[in-house]
Chains A and B, each alone.
Chain A
């Protein structure tokens, strides 16, 4: 999966060696990317988000979907079949 090839530093700077594009993510964005790289499912990540951060599971789920949407648009992630 593409995500594994990304160079991600702890500040949230991301470099995609395949396209040469770079990105920045905020803390929660970074949290999500790391969990995705570990192979966790969106449901699990949403649950972890609401455990770690001050946010309801429903809202975490909604924001996560929005975030994944952007990742798809940037060609960084694909929904597993």
Chain B
């Protein structure tokens, strides 16, 4: 019996290739997004173009909700507006049952404008202007207090409105991760929380009904959430015993990772980033072990990035190509860090609209800004790209559409591919009029 045959092969190992893009080389063609050809999208809506998939948004929401609910009986998802507050995106998540998590007056207004009732708004953030704070109180929003000054503001509002205000406390603590964020809320280990609680109880105008924490971003250790849940649960017990409050919710904030690739992460995201099921399991385990049945506190999650990032794509076009002094190839795209704020911290998946002949070689992708920092990808492996080639960058759904800048050019259209494949503009491209509308030329300069 002869052995099965495989054609002989020898592959030269390249460090760069192995580290960065080896697996990507085979999967770097993307002809369509949700069945709509990239070419058609560009022809109709222009380039650059942000594209969101309604199907991916809904699927990911449903998946995460079921995932967490299958581990713990009482879960609320609160959509983190700062991650992406386009109306259409927020509406989709609200339709799926998410409440709104806002951190500023603007975001609060935006949620109310979208028809979210006050009681479905969670109000976080280190600065809540007095006026909006009062509106939030009157409309019954859940307010997670960040500082002593805010407590004083709220006590004053309580006197004005003659009501006792129920609040949440933002807690920072050691959950075993670095960097340790200690800027949001009151510190647990130092005893600050308890002295603040005593002060609140003595004031007798406020009542603590929830605990909140926001321990970081892109947290790669699921155990950190378990420790946070455990500590908050223990604190809740203590507050209930000592002050007679009823702690109804524990809000573990956000910070859950997406399948994006942070620049410091050596491994590909599929390997280096734990699946969200691990987070769900660890959190639920802490809560279930620490709680009496029938007495489960509501678990609030402010998942942003992990819900929206992978539903967003940016189509961009190669506008020119050059060789750098060291012989490396460079491409200039029509989208740069003005649209891709997250390029500073993350590597994007780079796909080409069609198969191109020629061996991949290292190249740099620059944006259109006249600034040295405008680098979309320092080291991509791509075949020679003819001028006019469309590239599809992903995941870009989180933070880019809230942190993008209007800088030297107009911001492009954003479209949504609906579940039945129809494509709708959810944000029009900017015009000169949009940009200059708020400017005033003083009389003597006319």
The reply to whether A32 and B8 form a contact with Cβ atoms under 8 Å apart is: yes
Among A14, A28, A52, A66, point to the contact of B6 (Cβ < 8 A): A28
- Residues of B in contact (CB 8 Å), total 12
Q: How large is the interface on A (under 10, 10 to 19, 20 to 34, 35 or more residues)?
A: 20 to 34
How far apart sit A70 and B3, CA to CA, in the bound complex (Å)?
24
Query: Is the CB–CB distance between A24 and B10 below 8 Å?
Result: yes
Residues B4 and A53 in contact, CB atoms below 8 Å apart: yes
Chain A residues in 8 Å Cβ range of B178 = none
Given A14, A22, A54, A70, which contacts B5 in the complex, CB threshold below 8 Å?
A: A54
Provide the A24-36 mask, 1 if CB < 8 A to any CB of B, else 0.
1111110110000
Q: A21-B12, A23-B12, A24-B13 are in contact. Are A63 and B7 (CB under 8 A)?
A: yes
Are A26 and B12 also in contact (CB < 8 A) when A52-B2, A52-B3 are? no
Q: Are A53 and B12 in contact (CB under 8 A)?
A: no
A7 at the interface (CB under 8 A from B): no
CB-based contact B10/A29 at 8 Å = yes
> Binding site of A, secondary structure by majority: helix, strand, loop or mixed?
helix
A28 to B7 Cα, complex, angstroms: 7
Q: Are B2 and A70 neighbours in the complex by a CB distance under 8 Å?
A: no
Partner of A28, one of B2, B8, B12: B8
Which A residues touch B11, using CB under 8 A?
23-25
Interface residues of B in 1-52 (CB under 8 A from A): 2-13
Interface contact A74-B2, CB-CB below 8 Å: no
In the complex, residue of chain A having the shortest beta-carbon distance to the beta carbon of B15: A22
User: How far in angstroms is the closest Cβ of chain A from B14?
Assistant: 9
B-to-A contact residues, CB < 8 Å: 2-13
Query: What 7 pairs across the A-B complex have the smallest Cβ distances?
Result: A29-B8, A53-B5, A28-B8, A54-B2, A67-B8, A55-B5, A22-B13
User: What are 18 A-B pairs at a CB distance below 8 A?
Assistant: A21-B12, A22-B13, A25-B9, A25-B11, A27-B6, A28-B6, A28-B8, A28-B9, A29-B8, A51-B2, A53-B2, A53-B4, A54-B3, A54-B4, A63-B7, A66-B7, A67-B9, A67-B10
